[in-house]
């Protein structure tokens, strides 16, 4: 199981029956593959759809039906389509229960940076700023480090996506919860030792007495 699959399988356990969920582009979209049995959620795509599923069979794609990453999707029975004002009223208005987003950095205050590296990479924020501002719960699903540099830092060195503190950080090494007191280490990935986590984390971690192993969705 690679790092991305570990992250996606752990995030999937945060899904609850009946939730409206928005998955960001990239790693977060993998979460849809591991929805636990017995849990039914609706996925929103911010380009204007609630209720979509895996890509249609090859050759049966509809030219008016894509997800926010530009991939072909199929609409499920009960799906609803809408314009961009409605889509972001759902997002900003707190109607989205859970947003799962990728990240470049998260800091000790729980702030996320996800949309630009000044001078190097400026894709734009797309819907990410609205999602962090408005979703009821925000989970950052990202690899713990990139190019040997921790993505969990004391203070952001990249432009923040929002001032808000995110709800949870899930990496291939650990589950970390930002709190008023700082970043609390909640779980460690299977086979990962405490020193692996400390060596790869650029911010102070609060370590409770008990740090259980991360459960993973087996579905």
Partner 1 sequence: MSKSAITPEAAAALVFDGASVMIGGFLGVGSPDRLIDALVSRGARGLTIIGNDTAYPTVGVGKLIEAGCVARVEASHIGTNATTQRLMSVGAIDVELVPQGTLAERIRAGGSGLGGVLTPTGVGTIVAQGKQVVEIDGASFLIEKPLRADFALLRAHEADYCGNLTYRLTAANFNPIMAFAADCVIAEPDEIVPVGVIPPDAVRTPGVLVTHLIARAHC
Q: Where does this chain bind partner 1 (CB under 8 A)?
A: 45-49, 62-66, 68, 70, 75, 81-85, 87-88, 91-92, 122-130, 133-134, 159-163
Closest distance to partner 1 from the beta carbon of 55 (Å) = 14
- CB nearer to partner 1: give 133 or 206: 133
Closest distance to partner 1 from the beta carbon of 73 (Å) = 8
d(CA 115, CA 130): 12
- List the beta strands (DSSP E) in the chain: 20-23, 42-45, 49-53, 74-81, 98-101, 105-107, 112-113, 137-141, 145-146, 149-150, 152-153, 168-170, 174-179, 182-188, 205-206
Task: List the catalytic residue out of 5, 14, 46, 172.
Answer: 46
- CB nearer to partner 1: give 15 or 66: 66
Closest distance to partner 1 from the beta carbon of 12 (Å) = 25
Closest distance to partner 1 from the beta carbon of 109 (Å) = 11
Question: Phi-psi region for residue 102, left (φ > 0), alpha (ψ -120 to 50) or beta?
Answer: beta
- CB nearer to partner 1: give 97 or 187: 97
- DSSP character at residue 116: -
Alpha helices in the chain (DSSP H): 3-12, 84-92, 128-134, 194-199
Residue 147 phi/psi, 5-degree rounding, is: 50, 45
> In the chain, how long is the greatest CA-to-CA distance?
55
Based on the residue annotation, tell me whether 213 is a catalytic residue of this protein. Answer: no
- CB nearer to partner 1: give 7 or 90: 90
Could you give the residue numbers annotated as active site?
Answer: 46
């Amino acid at each position: 199981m690679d790092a991305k699959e570990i992250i996606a399988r752990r995030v999937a356990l945060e899904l609850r029956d009946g939730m409206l969920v928005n998955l960001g582009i990239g790693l977060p979209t993998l979460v849809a593959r591991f929805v636990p049995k017995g849990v039914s959620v609706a996925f929103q795509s911010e380009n204007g759809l609630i209720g979509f599923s895996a890509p249609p069979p090859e050759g049966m794609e509809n030219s008016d039906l894509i997800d926010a990453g530009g991939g072909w999707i199929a609409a499920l029975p009960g799906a609803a389509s809408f314009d961009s004002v409605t889509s972001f009223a759902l997002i900003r208005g707190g109607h989205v229960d859970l947003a799962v987003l990728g990240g470049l950095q998260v800091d000790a205050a729980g702030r996320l940076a996800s949309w630009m590296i000044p001078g190097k990479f400026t894709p734009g924020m797309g819907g990410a700023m609205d999602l962090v501002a408005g979703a009821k719960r925000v989970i950052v699903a990202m690899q713990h480090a990139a190019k040997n540099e921790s993505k969990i830092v004391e203070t952001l060195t990249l432009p923040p996506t929002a001032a808000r503190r995110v709800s949870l950080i899930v990496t291939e090494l650990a589950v970390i919860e930002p709190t008023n007191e700082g970043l609390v280490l909640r779980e460690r990935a299977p086979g990962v030792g405490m020193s692996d986590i400390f060596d790869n984390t650029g911010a102070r971690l609060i370590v409770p007495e008990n740090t259980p192993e991360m459960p993973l969705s087996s579905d």
